[in-house]
Structure 1
Amino acid sequence: MDTNRPESAIRPLIREHTGPVIAIRRTEHGNSSDLTAIVECENGPFFIKAVRNRPGGRRDSLVRERMIDAALVHIAPPLLWDVDAEDWLVLGYEVVDGRSADFAPDSPDLPLVVDTLARIGRVPLPAFARDWTESRWDRFAVDGSEAELFRGDSLLYTDINPHNLLVQGRRAWAVDWAWPTKGAGFIDPALLVLQLIAAGHTPASAEKWAAQLPAWHRAVSGEINAFAAANLRMYGAFAERKPDEDWLKSMVAACEAWTGYRGITAT
């Protein structure tokens, strides 16, 4: 047995919860973990996320994901069990038999996506998340005072994209809570705007969908403008470092379309 491979290493660790394991099938997405997979087993199936149990970003991310689960009832798939062993941290979730949401214009999934984000926006910030201050956009703000516009006491999802909104029947689940944070409530709606533009919406159409979210209306134009410009700088910097990544080019184009629509110059 190759115990260096995550599948082999975690099998004995999760057996208490899974029973005999038939197969561990890796999923297509899930770069924030060492392993994301569907476990076919006697007691399952289960969706698992596993990281090596050592200090650092991946472990910290999965610890946050474990903590936030209880606040996300009927929003994210429930966490059914976890294993915190010497070498591995593993989370076991209920499997959602869904598909990636379609963000394209006129998609019937859009009301489901907006409803899911609205439900996230109504989740009170848990006490344990008080120090999870959002700071990813700070270095792309013009100065410290502009970065302060991104502060707030809302629970933020921040990882909005079609792969993380799974449609099952007439509802959507928000999955992969890899890095929930605390910040200004308009941030999640603004990130939806960027994703919709990247999916083919005009900026005006994208903002109309965001306008269905209460947090969008609580923001002032200057806050949204500052965030839009910060995203353009951020994705521009990422694209320069990774010029072969087409998705980064797509996001730069979406940011340029949005800032152009709002009459913003981001230098």
Structure 2
Amino acid sequence: MVTTRLHWSDLPAKTRAAIEATTGPIHQAETVSGGYNSEIAVRLDTARGTLFVKGLRSDHPRAWTQGREAAVAPHTGGLAPSLLWRVRETGWDLLGFEFVADGRHADYSAGSPDPLLLADALTRLAETSVPDIELKRAEKRWAAYIPEPRHRAALAGEHLAHTDFNPENVLIAHERAVMVDWAWATRAAPWLDPALACIWLIATGKQTPAQAEQWAARMPAWHMAPRDALNAFAQANARLWTEIADENPGPWSASLRDAAGRYAAFRSTT
């Protein structure tokens, strides 16, 4: 489901006033075009500094993602922008985050340094235990696509996984990768994130499956993945992205479907 992007001026006056009471006077509001999940995504220049605000109407089908991000934010170990506040007013749920100065979206191509920075961040994340908050478990999230119980069980773990490596969710700033949009954070085995990121390296970085796995092998967690479970997980994501592309046709979903299919085919021969 792609969400229609609105502007700061589309928010009710009472909602904007509630935010301004938190931030101080707002000098400028600039809508951010990237991302698919937020109705509001805006950079605010305020009397107290610059910040990023994202949000949804409280009755939006994905309004739960606001609560998920708010719950995860204190536990990301410096790998994500700090959550500064949450405002729920006049039917809106909005989160205010630290603004990543000089941040740019990651480039996943083979010649870019960005995948190495992401690998460093994922190595740190793999060392992060899941906080005591409600998160979906990986073995349940992918259950419909993995029929074999032992393969589903291999996805289980007590580590915090991001799971959504759209390059717009990885900001590069000051020689480090910062991960944003934790709405799909999951309780999982630590090898899950590298496996999911491989598909994005293939789709948007135009890397081969072999190159993507060479990148993944930089991370200790990758070597914890049972081969048969990794193969089953690759097949599961190929089915998942085919389903997504069928339901939401377009170049973006087609590229992920094709990349996931190529990766699953590669895994079946290794």
TM-score of the alignment, normalized to the shorter chain, above 0.5 = yes
Question: CA offset at residue 137 of structure 1?
Answer: 2.2
CA contact 2:25–2:46 (8 Å) conserved in 1 = yes
Residue by residue, what CA displacement relative to the aligned partner does 1:44-74 show, whole Å, maximum 9, x if unpaired? 21101122234x6422111111111111232
Task: Say which SS state the counterpart of residue 172 (structure 2) adopts.
Answer: strand
3-state SS of the aligned residue for 1:178? coil
Task: Give 1:122 shift.
Answer: 1.4
Could you say what the CA RMSD is over the residues aligned between the two structures, in angstroms? 2.2
Structure-2 residue corresponding to 1:163: 168
Look up the SS of the partner of 2:268 in the other structure.
coil
Question: What is the CA–CA distance in structure 2 between the aligned matches of 1:196 and 1:159, rounded to whole Å?
Answer: 12
Letter in 2 for 1:239: A
Partner of 1:25: 30
TM-score, structure 1 normalization: 0.89
CA distance change for structure 1 residues 4 and 92 in 2, over 3 Å: closer, same or farther?
closer
SS at match of 1:61: helix
Once the two structures are TM-superposed, the CA of residue 111 in structure 1 deviates from its matched residue by 1.4
- Whether the 8 Å CA contact 1:53–1:85 is kept in 2: the answer is no
- 2:180 maps to 1:175: yes
Does the C-alpha gap of structure 1 residues 220 and 26 become closer, same or farther in structure 2, counting only changes over 3 Å? same
Match of 1:133 among 137, 144, 149: 137
- Deviation at 1:3? 10
Answer yes or no: is 1:92 the counterpart of 2:96: yes
Q: Are 2:165 and 1:150 equivalent residues in the alignment?
A: no
Q: CA deviation at 1:250?
A: 1.2
Using the TM superposition, give the Cα deviation of residue 9 of structure 1 relative to its aligned residue in structure 2, in angstroms: 5.1
- Rounded to whole Å, the distance in 2 between the matches of 1:132 and 1:207 is 26
Deviations 1:207-264 (A, max 9, x none): 1111112221111101110110001111112222333x11222112212221222226
Q: Secondary structure at the match of 1:262?
A: helix
Deviates more, 1:133-142 or 1:196-205: 133-142
Cα pair 1:103 1:110 within 8 Å, conserved: yes
Aligned to 1:238: 244
2:110·2:207 contact (CA, 8 Å) conserved in 1?
Answer: yes
Going from structure 1 to structure 2, the CA distance change for 1:159 and 1:193 (only over 3 Å counts) comes to: same
Q: Using a 3 Å threshold, how does the CA distance of structure 1 residues 93 and 7 change in structure 2: closer, same or farther?
A: farther
Q: Distance in 1 between matches of 2:194 and 2:40?
A: 30
Q: CA deviation at 1:93?
A: 0.9
**How does 1:101-112 map onto structure 2 within 5 Å?**
101-112=106-117
Match of 1:197 among 197, 202, 205: 202
Q: State the Cα distance separating 1:101 from its structure 2 match.
A: 0.9
What is residue 67 of structure 2 aligned with on the other side?
A: 63
Q: Are the equivalent residues in 1 in contact too, given 2:31–2:41 (CA < 8 A)?
A: yes
Task: Give the letter for the 2:159 counterpart.
Answer: S
* CA offset digits 1:184-208 (Å, max 9, x no partner): 2221010111111112111111111
The residue aligned with 1:15 is: 20
Q: Which amino acid counterpart does residue 209 of structure 1 have in structure 2? A: W
Residue 36 and residue 7 in structure 1: after superposition, are their counterparts in 2 closer, same or farther (change >3 A)? farther
1:223 to 226, 229, 248: 229
Q: Which runs of 5+ in 2 are unaligned?
A: 1-6
Contact 2:25 2:47 in 1 (8 A): yes
Q: Matches of 1:63 and 1:157 in 2, distance apart?
A: 15
Distance across 2 between alignment mates of 1:27 and 1:100: 13
Which consecutive segments of 4 or more residues in structure 1 shift more than 6 A?
A: none
> Contact conserved, 2:130 with 2:159, CA < 8 A, in 1?
yes
Give the C-alpha shift of residue 182 in structure 1: 0.7
Superposition pairs of residues 64-79 of structure 1, within 5 angstroms: 64-79=68-83
- Change beyond 3 A, Cα 1:73–1:152: closer
**C-alpha displacement of 1:145:** 4.9
Contact 1:154–1:184, Cα closer than 8 Å, also in 2: yes
TM-score, scaled to structure 2: 0.88
